[in-house]
Amino acid sequence: MSELTPPRLKNDCFALPAGVDWTPVDEALDRLRERMSRVVGQETLPMGEAEGRVLAADAVAIRANPPAANAAVDGYGMAHAATGDGDQTLPLAEGRAAAGAPFAGAVPTGSALRILTGALLPEGVDTVVLDEDVSTDGARVAFEGPVRKGSNTRRAGEDVSAGDVAVPSGRRLGPPEIALLAAVGVTDVLVNRPLRVGVLSTGDELSVPGKTFDPSRTYDANRPMLLALLRDWRMEAVDLGHVADDRVALRVRLDEASERCDAILTSGGASAGDEDHVSALLGENGSRSDWRIALKPGRPLALGVWEGVPVFGLPGNPVAALVCTLIFARPAFAVLGGEGWKVPQGFMVPAGFEKTKKPGRREYLRARMKGDGSVEVFASEGSGRISGLAWADGLVELPDGPVTVRAGDAVRYLPYASFR
């Protein structure tokens, strides 16, 4: 059966209602969520080759885990009905039960059997007493009662029953999920193909790092940063290179990118100046909506569609480019790639800093956790301070309204890792 590929996005998917000016972050995210849908195809892979992929259908357990009742410890098994209160002494049945070497036959009522961790519980055994809780002379075992029925045993299917959904659709498969799939006998899984995201830098001022020492040229930090970010997110990062402020060349590059990519990230040229060719081309030949989002750092985010491929026109400043990518592009990419809308996990932690914030924009401060469990922020809020991105291990999110933060106040901290 041939693979079905979803249709590309419509040209009006980013359009804002008439009269919309500055858009609060939460409202912008809600609108973005409404407009996104899966665009990637699907394929079936052996379970062992699917690490990092997103499940396209529920993975159902072929058999239970554990498949049969077994011992959870090394010890001695018996029927609970043969035990009571006080000191207990039971004769030992001949033989033993071990993992992979089950006991043949049934354990006589009133007897105990040597049993090791993982061994199937033979007929006549429903309770296990831990090695450390018994004494034995090789013919008998003695222990103190009462013992709880079922102690130190695992029930068949107590983890996952056959036919249960072991891993749900939309989950990205990591080592824990792979372990679970293996344990319940899933050998093949239907997964989404990796989202292919192109990264394009624009601007006459940019240069390849190290190629020149002309102070009028800026080393391109955005493209390496964004490509690395996409790889960290298990997406297929497509390097679209750098285009100068040349509208014809940019049009050619976008045409090529639309054939290779499921989504495109551009940086620079996204505002409304004379050399903002990304924004201009999206308006002329694609579909553009300048989302004036009330956040700091960040400028208007140019969102558009080029030949059915969504384009996220990021600010040229690396700090603003990263924040916009984390907050807006990441959840959108999750939907496009079949993962579903992804909300970063935040934590309320004590502030290790003080700040007074004016109303009007949501702010994201470069931040990192301290050894005492509080969070500190980078000394400068200047959006040109790229060193703050590397210094930090996450962001502190301050609300849209006015706020005064004092040391010890609870603030919302978003680790970089929560965007993966």
Give pLDDT tens digits for 305-322.
Answer: 888 899 998 988 899 999
Residue-level pLDDT at 274: 46
Location of structure tokens 């103190």: 144
Contact 298, 315 (CB under 8 A): yes
Q: Quote the CA–CA distance of 401 and 290 in Å, as a whole number.
A: 23
Residue-level pLDDT at 290: 59
Residue-level pLDDT at 96: 97
pLDDT digits (tens, 9 = 90+) for 99-146: 999 999 999 999 999 999 999 999 999 999 999 999 999 999 999 999
pLDDT at 63 over 80: yes
- CA-based nearest residue to 82, from 124, 27, 24: 124
Residue-level pLDDT at 10: 58
Q: Quote the CA–CA distance of 363 and 16 in Å, as a whole number.
A: 23
Taking the C-alpha atoms of 12, 17, 19 and 22 in order, what is their torsion angle to the nearest 10 degrees?
-90
Global confidence as pTM: 0.85
Residue-level pLDDT at 168: 97
Residue-level pLDDT at 16: 47
Q: What is the CATH class of 44-63+160-192?
A: alpha beta
Task: Over range 383-404, report the average pLDDT.
Answer: 94
Task: Over range 54-66, report the average pLDDT.
Answer: 98
Residue-level pLDDT at 316: 86
pLDDT at 324 over 60: yes
Poorest-confidence range of 60-64, 79-83, 211-215, 355-359? 211-215
Residue-level pLDDT at 289: 66
Residue-level pLDDT at 315: 87
pLDDT at 8 over 80: no
Task: Choose which CATH entry (2.170.190.11, 2.40.50.660, 3.40.190.10, 2.30.30.100) describes domain 70-154.
Answer: 2.170.190.11
Under the banding of pLDDT at 50, 70 and 90, the label for residue 410 is very high
Q: What is the CATH class of 25-41+194-336?
A: alpha beta
List Cβ neighbours of 281 (8 Å cut-off, separation of 6 or more).
247, 250, 251, 254, 306
Poorest-confidence range of 185-189, 294-298, 352-356, 415-419? 294-298
Q: Give percent of the chain above pLDDT 70.
A: 91
Q: Which whole-number Å values give the CA distances from 63 to 56, 100, 167, 168, 186, in the listed order? A: 21, 17, 14, 16, 9
Residue-level pLDDT at 1: 47
Under the banding of pLDDT at 50, 70 and 90, the label for residue 19 is low
Q: Give percent of the chain above pLDDT 90.
A: 73
Mean of all residue pLDDT scores within the chain: 90
Residue-level pLDDT at 269: 58
Residue-level pLDDT at 277: 64
List Cβ neighbours of 188 (8 Å cut-off, separation of 6 or more).
44, 45, 46, 47
pLDDT digits (tens, 9 = 90+) for 241-299: 999 888 889 899 999 999 999 999 999 755 444 446 677 777 776 566 656 788 899 76
The amino acid that residue 355 corresponds to is K
CATH topology of domain 347-419: Beta-clip (2.40.340)
Under the banding of pLDDT at 50, 70 and 90, the label for residue 23 is confident
pLDDT at 11 over 60: no
Computed from CA positions of residues 355, 360, 362, 363, in that sequence, does the dihedral angle turn out positive or negative? negative
Under the banding of pLDDT at 50, 70 and 90, the label for residue 28 is confident
Residue-level pLDDT at 184: 98
pLDDT digits (tens, 9 = 90+) for 170-227: 999 999 999 999 999 999 999 999 999 999 998 888 778 878 788 878 788 999 999 9
Give residue limits of the domains in the chain. Answer: 25-41+194-336, 44-63+160-192, 70-154, 347-419
Helix axes 277-285, 247-260, angle to 10 degrees: 70
Residue-level pLDDT at 293: 83
pLDDT at 34 over 70: yes
